[in-house]
Amino acid sequence: MPVVIKKRSRKKAITPKKNSFAQFRVSDDDVILREVEQFLYRQAELLDAKRWSDYIELFDADGIYWMPASLEQITGDGMPSIFYEDRNLMTMRMKRIAHPHAWSQTPAWGTSHIVSNVTLEKVDSRTGDVSVRSRFHMMEFRRDASRHFAGVYHHELRKTKHGYTIRLQRTDMVNGEAPFDYVLLAWV
């Protein structure tokens, strides 16, 4: 069968009127969303670079990193969790991971985080604090094998004069209840 090619219509090109882009205004939420996205991307970069101390500094003085054992958990206090760490416990973990004789760090391993679908859940117009939900995918490469972790981050961020700090990071993994050859050594 012969191929039929339709002719294009010769409509006049539409040229925007002067200052027609002024109708596209950036809202306060758009600015906040962009700031939060950059904060979350920085957090992922610090994890991938194994800059543990800088990562911990992202947390508020009383900040918590929480990875519940099941998605139904509503509190980590007094409940079994994969992680439920304040800055003190995070610092202890960092020292164990970074110790030159840490057998768990041999062979060397690396990660790559992707953060996406960042959504502002709540913005406190008085304080600037925000609640954020995002999706993540982390690939870990170790012992010539890859492991994949994916799920949802929930961040409670406090607005400070220097940017944001993490009051609470809840990490809900899709495959958190799956069997693994070895335990998670660092934060997802």
Residues 110-117 have a mean pLDDT of 94
pLDDT of residue 137: 96
Residues 125-139 have a mean pLDDT of 96
How many angstroms separate the CA atoms of 105 and 185, rounded?
Answer: 9
Which pTM was predicted? 0.81
CB 99 within 8 A of CB 117: no
Tokens 């800055």 -> residue: 87
Average pLDDT, the chain: 84
Q: pLDDT confidence of 144, banded at 50, 70, 90?
A: confident
Q: Higher-confidence residue: 98 or 29?
A: 29
Check whether 166 has a pLDDT greater than 90: yes
What are 51's two structure tokens?
Answer: 């800059």
How many angstroms separate the CA atoms of 68 and 79, rounded?
Answer: 9
Check whether 13 has a pLDDT greater than 60: no
**What's the longest Cα–Cα distance across the chain?**
74
CB 136 within 8 A of CB 174: no
CATH for the 27-173 domain, from 2.40.40.20, 3.40.50.620, 3.10.450.50, 3.80.10.10 = 3.10.450.50
For residue range 41-82, list pLDDT tens digits in order.
999 999 999 999 999 999 999 999 999 988 899 998 888 888
Rank 14-23, 105-114, 166-175 by mean pLDDT and report only the highest. Answer: 166-175
CB 178 within 8 A of CB 186: no
Q: Which helix (H) or strand (E) holds 93?
A: helix 87-98
DSSP letter for 10, please. Answer: -
For residue range 18-52, list pLDDT tens digits in order.
555 556 666 888 999 999 999 999 999 999 999 99
In the chain, pLDDT over 90 holds for what percent of residues?
54
Of 146, 145, 168, 148, nearest to 156 by C-alpha is 168
